[in-house]
Amino acid sequence: MFLSPISRPLWAASQLEVQIDGTVIPFSIVDLTEWARSDGQHQSELSTWFSLLDPKSRAGVLELLQAPVIVDRSLARQLLDSWAGRQLLDQVADLVRVDDDTEGVIFLQTLNQLLAKQQQVSSLDLLGALPAERVRLDLDVLLELAKSWRMQIQRQQKLVRRLDRLPVTESLPQPPDSAAQDQGLHQDLEPRLMSLSVGHRADPLGFQLWLPVEGAPKRDHWMVLMPGLGGSPDHFRWLGRGLSRRGWAVLIPEHPGSDDRAIQALLDGHRSPPGAEVLPDRLKDLNALLSARRKGMFEVPGQYLVLAGHSLGALSALLSTGARPAPGLARRCLSVLSDLPLSNLSRLLQCQLVDVSLPQQTAPDDLSAVIGFNSFGSLLWPAGSFAKTLKVPVFLTGGTLDLITPPISEQLGLLLAMPPNPSSRVVLVEGASHFSPVRVEGQKEGGRGEDLFQLGEDLVGVQPLQVQALLEKEVVQFLLEQENLNSDDVSRAKPMHLKAGDLHLHRLDRKAASVLID
């Protein structure tokens, strides 16, 4: 479960002060390491004190010491020097006090040195490498955190169990494959690569424009799809190509400063990680594109606009409707940030908005719907507080393996915070993650490809190509409903529980969502 012992530097701390039940006891770091690596069997003065804990608490300490603090080096390096990373380090400094370092500087330096040597880092690795005279480990706080984390994970597990008990309403022998569809009739279909000079950026803003293929049905709607933090328009070629085959135009903008090139610059050591501070420029990007289209600077067929996005792009879409964070965000974040929200990383971005000045937005006159892949906003809009001005239906998607925007709070909860709309819904896919909608070059069944992050199944989730195909089908169904809203034979999709091979997809309306999070 954890790494082999690493070599202890000559200057590493040897004394550990362990705080248990309000009492501070000095111990040897070597004894702690041996106790943890022996699963609590090593006998020492330290083990005597641990024996006073109840079995569950003792097992929790063992698990926390053994488990990797960092499980993905690339993600860790994105976070450590960011606003979100500083919030995490502030809390870690309360857990692991290194001499008089209240800012976590020594902790951060040591962690960076370890990450240069190994892919994963455990608590024991850190304790064995910290250069200090003494290190204090506050197990009282650690146990409280373990209890909180366990409760959050149990909520997710409870959601999965509830979903599994729902009767299957539709079954397919095997899920479709969006990669196979891409290689079909329109395999050579490519977007137009365009750019627009905008006043808030030094260089022209690039974007991809997918136009309807010849012979496709004429549609009344068109879409702007905004990638997430670190995302690229190329990540959503699968959806742009799929919708253009069916007659919808799709515009996918780049967002310089928070795109894949910004992340590459981060990994090259040329910049710090982007965060919620990029939202004002992202909103200006969208406003500039919509304004240019209205002025005829480029042509996109369609009368009604659908705003869509992935993760931070989904939040951009929601903010573009004129919604503002509900009053009291700073107060709500005080308790959240004191609890190391590692099972819901989106809360870090949401809380950063306390310090971000967002431009005032007004919903576009032609706005017809909003689509959010792995959306979030539970802290921005608690139940009943979402802007009442949102009069369009909202389609949200999520996955049960998502610990960045977990569905129970960030999709189901967000739907319930919004004004009721008979067409609004959440689609959850069991086994899908935060990155399931992201297609990368060379991506195969397990999710790996030639992308910057080399994402594996632990981050992408299971069967990403099939998940994308199912999501595409659901998006098409939702868009068809919007096309026919003025028709007398409108048929809105009902809640559905689809089994396609090993994948389970759940389409949930407001009533079904409220039952699941009770």
In order of 200, 234, 254, 266, 285, the CA distances from 288 in angstroms are 9, 21, 13, 27, 5
Q: What is the pLDDT of residue 79?
A: 57
Q: Which of 7-21, 59-73, 376-390 has the lowest mean pLDDT?
A: 7-21
Q: What is the pLDDT of residue 138?
A: 72
* DSSP secondary structure, 122-174, as one string: EHHHHHHH--SSEEEEEHHHHHHHHHHHHHHHHHHHHHHHHHHHSPPSEEESS
Q: Tell me how far apart the alpha carbons of residues 302 and 132 are, in angstroms, rounded to a whole number.
A: 64
* pLDDT over 90 (residue 437): yes
Q: Tell me how far apart the alpha carbons of residues 278 and 427 are, in angstroms, rounded to a whole number.
A: 28
Q: What is the pLDDT of residue 457?
A: 57
Of the two residues 36 and 408, the one the predictor is more confident about is 408
Mean pLDDT of 3-11: 39
Q: Tell me how far apart the alpha carbons of residues 230 and 370 are, in angstroms, rounded to a whole number.
A: 21
Residue 220 burial (C-beta neighbours within 10 Å; 0-12, 13-18, 19+): middle
Mean pLDDT of 1-8: 36
* 482-490 own/partner pairs: CB under 8 Å, 24+ apart: 482/221, 482/304, 482/306, 482/368, 482/369, 482/393, 482/423, 483/219, 483/220, 483/221, 485/423
Number of neighbouring beta carbons within 10 Å of residue 165: 8
Mean pLDDT of 321-334: 93
Q: What is the pLDDT of residue 234?
A: 93
Q: Which of 79-93, 159-173, 492-506 has the lowest mean pLDDT?
A: 79-93
Q: Please name the residue that has the structure tokens 């608490």.
A: 57
* pLDDT over 70 (residue 445): no
Per residue in 55-87, pLDDT tens?
A: 887 787 787 777 776 655 655 655 565 665 666
Q: What is the pLDDT of residue 446?
A: 46
Q: Tell me how far apart the alpha carbons of residues 58 and 53 are, in angstroms, rounded to a whole number.
A: 6
Question: Is 354 within 8 Å of 382 (Cβ atoms)?
Answer: no
Q: What is the pLDDT of residue 225?
A: 98
* pLDDT band at 318; cut points 50, 70, 90: very high
Mean pLDDT of 251-277: 82
Q: What is the pLDDT of residue 154?
A: 79
CATH architecture group of domain 191-484+492-516: 3-Layer(aba) Sandwich (3.40)
Q: Which of 229-238, 297-306, 441-450, 457-466 has the lowest mean pLDDT?
A: 441-450
Mean pLDDT of 393-421: 93
Q: Which of 32-41, 302-311, 316-325, 368-377 has the lowest mean pLDDT?
A: 32-41
C-alpha triplet 324, 330, 336: angle, nearest 5°: 110
Of the two residues 323 and 87, the one the predictor is more confident about is 323
Q: What is the pLDDT of residue 387?
A: 73
Q: Please name the residue that has the structure tokens 């960045």.
A: 404
Rounded to two decimals, the pTM is: 0.79
Of the two residues 341 and 222, the one the predictor is more confident about is 222
* pLDDT over 50 (residue 447): no
C-alpha triplet 267, 272, 276: angle, nearest 5°: 120
For 485, the 3-state DSSP assignment is coil
Phi/psi region, residue 372 (left: phi>0; alpha: psi -120 to 50; beta: rest), is beta
Per residue in 107-144, pLDDT tens?
A: 777 877 887 787 777 777 877 787 777 777 777 766 77
Of the two residues 142 and 512, the one the predictor is more confident about is 512
Mean pLDDT of 232-241: 95
Mean pLDDT of 198-226: 96
Residue 332 burial (C-beta neighbours within 10 Å; 0-12, 13-18, 19+): buried
Q: What is the pLDDT of residue 56?
A: 80
* pLDDT over 80 (residue 51): no
* pLDDT band at 89; cut points 50, 70, 90: low
Of the two residues 103 and 325, the one the predictor is more confident about is 325
Q: What is the pLDDT of residue 268?
A: 67
* pLDDT band at 193; cut points 50, 70, 90: very high
* pLDDT band at 392; cut points 50, 70, 90: very high
N-terminal to C-terminal alpha carbon distance within the chain: 34
Q: What is the pLDDT of residue 75?
A: 54
Of the two residues 337 and 313, the one the predictor is more confident about is 313
DSSP state of 175: -
Q: What is the pLDDT of residue 458?
A: 57
Mean pLDDT of 479-485: 90
Q: What is the pLDDT of residue 462?
A: 76
- φ, ψ at 72 (rounded to 5°): -140, 110
- Domain-by-domain residue ranges, the chain? 15-149, 191-484+492-516
Q: Which of 2-11, 353-362, 487-496 has the lowest mean pLDDT?
A: 2-11
